[in-house]
Amino acid sequence: MHEMSIVQALVEQCEKIAEQNKANKINRVDVKIGILSGIEAHFLESCFDMFKEGTICDGAKLNMQIQKVVVLCKECNEQSELSEHYFICPKCKSENLEVKDGEDMMLMQVEME
Ligand SMILES: [Zn+2]
pTM for this model (two decimals): 0.85
Which residues have a Cβ under 8 Å from the Cβ of 113 and sit 6 or more positions away?
23, 24, 25, 26, 27
Q: Residue 52 C-alpha to ligand 1 middle, in angstroms?
A: 44
Strands 26-34 and 61-67, bridge-based pairing: parallel
Burial (CB < 10 A; 0-12, 13-18, 19+), residue 110, is: buried
Q: In this prediction, what percent of the chain has a pLDDT beyond 90?
A: 90
Q: Residue 2 C-alpha to ligand 1 middle, in angstroms?
A: 34
Q: Residue 67 C-alpha to ligand 1 middle, in angstroms?
A: 21
Q: For residue 23, give the nearest of 59, 62, 56, 72 by alpha carbon.
A: 56
Q: For residue 94, give the nearest of 69, 71, 74 by alpha carbon.
A: 74
Q: Residue 97 C-alpha to ligand 1 middle, in angstroms?
A: 8
Instruction: Give the tens place of pLDDT for each residue, 14-66.
Output: 999 999 999 999 999 999 999 999 999 999 999 999 999 999 999 999 999 99
84: pLDDT confidence band, cut at 50, 70 and 90?
low
Q: Residue 90 C-alpha to ligand 1 middle, in angstroms?
A: 7
83: pLDDT confidence band, cut at 50, 70 and 90?
confident
